[in-house]
Structure 1
Amino acid sequence: MKRRLLALALLAAPMLACGSSTPEAENPETSATETTTTTNPTPTATPEAAPTATPTAAPAAAKEPSPEELKKAKAAQELAADRTKWEAEAKAEDTRFTPEIHAEAKKLADAKHASLDAALKVVLAGKHRVAKNAERDKYRHPQETLKFFGLTPKQTVLEYGPGEGWWTEILAPTLATQGKLLVTTTDPKGPADARSTFYGQRLVRFLDRAPELYSKVDRIVIDGKSPKFGLENKVDLVIVMRSLHGLHRDKLLPGFLAEVFKALKPGGVLGVEQHRAKADADPDKSAEQGYLPEAFVIKQAEAAGFKLEGKSEVNANAKDTKDYPEGVWTLPPTLELGDKDKDKYLAIGESDRMTLKFVKPKK
């Protein structure tokens, strides 16, 4: 019997040596069982009783990002690229603004103009303008558009959504001496990862570059999700250029138009330039592509209390087929597709746009 027990013990020893190094005695149930077996006067030692290796758990599979996470990651990547591009362009503009250009800008801002035509004659030719902006005059028709809206150098004007300052660099010197320019901006001190913060910072840098031109411009910080101006019967003209599609897409258009109506003096003007969709387009769908039907815009403005005073085709473009892979941003100046079919889209030019003049009734 002793020989048999000794043989069985020798057989079990190698198997114990090959067992898991993980201490199993931490399991109280296992510990109790082993104690009972050890104190049994006639143990039956078998190879099956030896500890076995604990299987190593397979590493957990990487969790697939959700659609929302993918969307955020893409947005962050695009924002970083836009910031990098903007920094390079801003530095180039800072360098371009020589003392001579600053001196000319001051002269422009100090001048008193007898009429809009007189003001725009010198302002549009000013060296303060970004070169790529001046190149777009053939598409945007600033003189004809502002004359249609009834702008004069003595008015108080609110520019909604100035973007990179295309209209601001025209309006500010025109109004600097006898009138007043107000521009909306998102908070430049907002979260660093918010695109709205980037837009606010971009405008600050633009305005601060030439204080002789822009120091008199009032900046109205707004919440892009609920624009409020804090103005009532103080403004002669509000211009909203190529922005209504975004307001409709974000379900803000009725509230926005009500805020504009409140800000305008009786008899004041809302000037609208907007990418024009096909007449039978669904506004909800076309807004995603940057366009809105003209009749829809008129209906929305009239619902807010405005009266349509006139239409202009100065910004019309019959070549715009309004059916592009990346919506209106396929066309210049954005050219979202890069070099793909670039010549084709350059030949079309900028979008077909409605230009509308609404009036707030005097009573």
Structure 2
Amino acid sequence: MKRSLLALALLAAPMLACGSSTPEVQNPDETATETTTTTNAAPTAAPAAPTATPEATKEPSPEELKKQKAAQELAADRAKWEAEAKAEDTRFTPEIKAEAKKLAEKKHASLDAALKEILAGKHRVPKNVERDKHRHPQETLKFFGLTPKMTVLEYGPGEGWWTELLAPTLAAQGKLLVTTTDPKGPPEARSTFYAQRLSRFLERSPELYGKVEKIVIDPKNPKFGLENKVDLVIVMRSMHGLHRDKLLPGFLSEVFTALKPGGVLGVEQHRAKPDADPDKSAPQGYLPEAFVIKQAEAAGFKLEGKSEVNANPKDTKDHPEGVWTLPPTLELGEKDKDKYMAIGESDRMTLKFVKPKK
């Protein structure tokens, strides 16, 4: 009996040494190998779960969030522009190009004669035509003293609203220069996008814009490389940005240098309330009129005249998104759209400065 109990104990020992859990079903040869090699080994630890690195869990900084938002907005603007540009390319038929060629080749007797045809031209972007009632192009350019034989510098042409009027007016007898940033700049920069947009606009119609001369500038330090070469410089709704970026005095000095003696600086600018602080109103798109005059006079200009052709007393100048709350931008979208459409485009000063003759 004792011998039987001893035999049973000897048979059970290997099983107890492997633990009490049920073994997995394996190939018999593999089981035999594991029994002889791992019976007395410590159990293998399970792989540790990956731990998140500080970079993975770190919240983006306000500056990073700002950059992300800017990149998203730029991508959206690019997509919108591409769609509009393709539609405009399609609209620009051979018939429209032929008409544009005639406009550009014609030696217009006067500004009125030129603009009578050009304002009605089919080359104009349809949405631009819709803004004529707000922009008053004929009255504004006449106030500045534009003639078809002038050399004109357009600062910050944007999407070409004024360019499509100036280029055919000046093509046959005058000259148009426009500033632009570098179209080959960093792709994430808005200045690059704006330059590419302008280039495509000009390239769409060589008949109209083939003689337009582009002056590439650094937006942080605009230099024209001109001296006593220009009859008229027009600056449309841009001075708030120049002041905001602390560039206005240097810019006005550059304009003064570029103009011939007796040359004209024509300014159209969103007008702030008279007592507004320029440092606070500029980011909203507005500047006080007296401030603009003072800055121009400090650069050596003489105020020749004021016009209220672009005035709008309905503009209260206190909108949630600044001047961009109003049309055509309508930054708030459909929110209170009827209200802002009823106001119309901004209240704007229209000023004529002259570089004194020596």
The answer for the alignment partner of 1:7 in structure 2 is none
| Alpha-carbon distance in structure 1 between the residues aligned to 2:260 and 2:223 | 16
Q: 1:356 to 1:16 in 2, by over 3 A?
A: farther
Distance 1:150 1:121 in 2: 16
Q: Give yes or no for the alignment of 1:200 onto 2:200.
A: no
User: Which amino acid is 1:65 matched to?
Assistant: P
In 2, the alpha carbon distance for the partners of 1:185 and 1:20 equals 65
Partner of 2:208: 213
Query: Counterpart of 1:181 in 2: which secondary structure?
Result: strand
The answer on 1:293 being equivalent to 2:304 is no
Match of 1:17 in 2: 42
Mapping 1:127-138, distance limit 5 Å: 127-138=122-133
Please say if 1:59 is aligned against 2:52.
yes
Distance 1:15 1:177 in 2: 100
- Cα distance in 2 between the residues matched to 1:57 and 1:113: 76
User: Structure 2 regions of 5+ residues with no counterpart?
Assistant: 1-16, 19-37
Deviation at 1:204, TM superposition (A): 0.5
- Counterpart of 2:171 (choices 166, 170, 176) is 176
What does residue range 324-343 of structure 1 map to in structure 2 within 5 Å?
324-343=319-338
Per-residue deviation, 1:259: 0.3
Structure 2: how far apart are the matches of 1:153 and 1:97?
A: 25
C-alpha distance in structure 2 between counterparts of 1:223 and 1:146, whole Å: 27
Match of 1:97 among 92, 95, 104: 92
Superposition pairs of residues 267-286 of structure 1, within 5 angstroms:
267-286=262-281
Q: 2:357: which partner in 1?
A: 362
* Aligned with residue 237 of structure 1, among 232, 235, 238: 232
Structure 1 gap ranges (5+): 1-9, 23-54
> Could you tell me how far 1:19 is from its partner in structure 2?
6.3
| Structure 1 segment 344-355 matched on structure 2, within 5 A | 344-355=339-350
* Aligned position for 1:155: 150
CA–CA distance in structure 1, aligned partners of residues 211 and 311 of structure 2? 33
- Paired with 1:56 and 1:119, the residues of 2 have a C-alpha distance of 76
| RMSD of aligned alpha carbons | 1.9
Return the offset for 1:268: 0.2
Secondary structure of 1:90's aligned partner: helix
Give the letter for the 2:352 counterpart: K
* 2:219 aligned to which of 193, 211, 224: 224
The alpha-carbon deviation at position 16 of structure 1 amounts to 7.0
**Match of 1:261?**
256
- Of all paired residues, the percent bearing the same amino acid is 84
Q: TM-score, normalised by structure 1?
A: 0.86
Structure 1: how far apart are the matches of 2:123 and 2:51? 65
Deviation at 1:114, TM superposition (A): 1.0
Partner amino acid, structure 2, of 1:69: E
1:17 CA drift (Å):
2.7
Distance 2:240 2:51 in 1: 51
